[in-house]
Structure 1
Amino acid sequence: MNSLKTATLRFANLATAATGACKRDFARSLWHMTKKPAELTGDHVTVLNVHKPSLNCTCGCNVHTKGERELVEFLAEEIIAERKVQKGKTVPTTLEGFSVQLTGAEVELVKQSDKEKVVITFNVNHTVDSEDEPEINPNADKPEMGEMRSKPQFEVDVIRGNSTLSFTCSYLEGEAQEGEYNDVFSIDEMCIYEGEWHDKIYAVAGDVLDGYLYDLLMNLLEEKGISNVFVEKLSDLATAHEHTSYIGLLEKLSKFSTNAK
């Protein structure tokens, strides 16, 4: 799914909240976009009930605007729905020997040994996509939705003393066919430098590397713990953190609108 469709999944309900099509099973659903305000049944017209937020401010003040009241009412339902989808999923403090550190949207995983330190870093912003297109059937109660997954680009730094071997990696699209073996991720770029990184350091793109050298570098990453299985678990971690962050954003938006003066 491209970025435009992803944006549609996430913001469709917020854009239509004021007109009433506003409850997502997983708040990033296309289902309500397929609903019509009325359906013809023979010679009769069946009008669908449309939710209209109350115009009375629940806190009893005369300060909040109509838009803020409607937004707060919608968010109250939306947060509950997202928490149900979350089902208690939390970001682990460790993953396959790596310690996990969260700083806002940034995630850092570190594994230290006597000889070297391996550091993985990524940001969950703008990383959510649906694995499958929703099959929208106007005669069905609900379309089949693909799972929302976070698959961020990530950096892998292998640090030995003052030297750093650095990889930029990305998730690959598609699934392996039966009898085939495909990597879950690829090396986008590789560089090695002394001290701190700066933009004058030479880096080579993964797709121009010698094929055998590329395979050897992938084997090296696997030896450092960056295997296909690990990278799948990394996506699970990123997905949990992105979803938690999304719920937190909704809660902050609700608080911001509620506390308007």
Structure 2
Amino acid sequence: MNCLIRAAAQLRGVAGLAVAGAEARGVALRRGLALASGTRSPLVAATSTLRSPLPLVATSAPPARFMHSKGERELVEFLTEEITAERKAQKVKNIPTELDGFKVQLNGAEVTLTKKVDSETISINFNVNHTVDSESSDDEVVDADKEEFAEMRSRPQFEIDIIRGDATLSFTCSFIQDTQPVQEGDGYNDVFGIDEITMYQGEWNDKIYAVAGDVLDGYLYDLLMNYLEEKGISNEFAEKLSDFSTNYEHSAYICLLESLSKFTVKP
């Protein structure tokens, strides 16, 4: 009896294995048919769906900084052409370090010329900002067809300090405009004139007295101009100072254009 029971159990186990194998073969067959027909089984489709890339979603974020505006692009295009033209018109590429025996010191728009003679130190200071004007007079008409324009020149006001020990004799001078009429009987044609004169000990301050050049006695004024000429500050020197200032101002202008272009392009 026990032998019959064990035999029946073995037959049921074999039948179960046969059924499981058939089901497995059926699943494999269905998967093969599905792949051959181009359709996917639910499992394959689900797996493929999980692995598919996420769709692109439009956002309302602002554009990146490197996407320049129309105004910026037009500005950069103009600056590129302007810098090229200004460099072609530039007469002096390298600013000299000496001018008629005066050592040159540059500090931004500030220029200092210094010369030592015996026990004296002569210092000339000026600033090139807002010093450029046209050499043509207001009455002169520019021919637009010929595209001829007057040269731009820098004529800065300049300070002359003659220092001996602790004492300083100081002149404030400026270039004489071409439109100023020359007085009758005046045989001189000065390029610059004395605006103010003062003298002080130590450091200058607002309490120190100064006198305007146009109220000085005429003969005293001429003697002071002769005195400056003996110190090397003549009409010829003033012309050279104007040339130097013109070239340096032009160089500073080109640097400003280049800095503006880099600032506009930089993200």
Q: Same fold (TM over 0.5)?
A: yes
Query: Which residue does 1:131 correspond to in 2?
Result: 135
Describe the superposition over 1:56-101 as per-residue Cα deviations: whole angstroms up to 9, x where unpaired.
xxxx975311111111111000000000000444321111110011
1:45-84 mapped onto 2 (5 Å cutoff): 62-84=66-88
Which amino acid in structure 1 is aligned with residue 245 of structure 2? A
Contact 1:90 1:240 in 2 (8 A): no
State yes or no: 1:192 paired with 2:199: yes
Q: TM-score, normalised by structure 2?
A: 0.70
The structural deviation recorded for 1:180 is 4.5
Distance in 2, matches of 1:230 and 1:88, equals 18
- Any gaps of 5 or more consecutive residues in structure 1? 1-59
Contact kept in structure 2, 1:165 and 1:192, CA below 8 Å = yes
Give 1:115 shift.
1.0
Q: Distance in 2 between matches of 1:198 and 1:61?
A: 50
Shift of 1:181: 2.8
Residue matched to 2:208: 201
The equivalent residue for 1:224 is 231
Cα contact 1:221–1:227 (8 A) shared by 2: yes
Query: 1:86-235 alignment to 2 at 5 Å?
Result: 86-133=90-137, 135-137=141-143, 140-142=145-147, 144-174=148-178, 180-235=187-242
Determine which structure has the larger helix proportion and give its number: 2
Question: How many residue pairs end up in the alignment?
Answer: 198
Measured against aligned partners, the alpha-carbon deviations of 1:97-120 in whole angstroms (never above 9, x if no partner) come to 100111100000000122110000
| Residues 192, 238 of structure 2: 8 Å contact kept | yes
Give the deviation of 1:136 after TM superposition. Answer: 3.7
Secondary structure at 2:105 match in 1: strand
**Contact kept in structure 2, 1:75 and 1:254, CA below 8 Å:** yes
Distance 1:195 1:61, change over 3 A: closer
Superposed CA RMSD: 2.0
Q: Matched residue of 1:129: which SS?
A: strand
| Aligned counterpart, 1:6 | none
- Contact 2:92/2:247 (<8 A) preserved: no
Compute the displacement of 1:198 (Å).
0.5
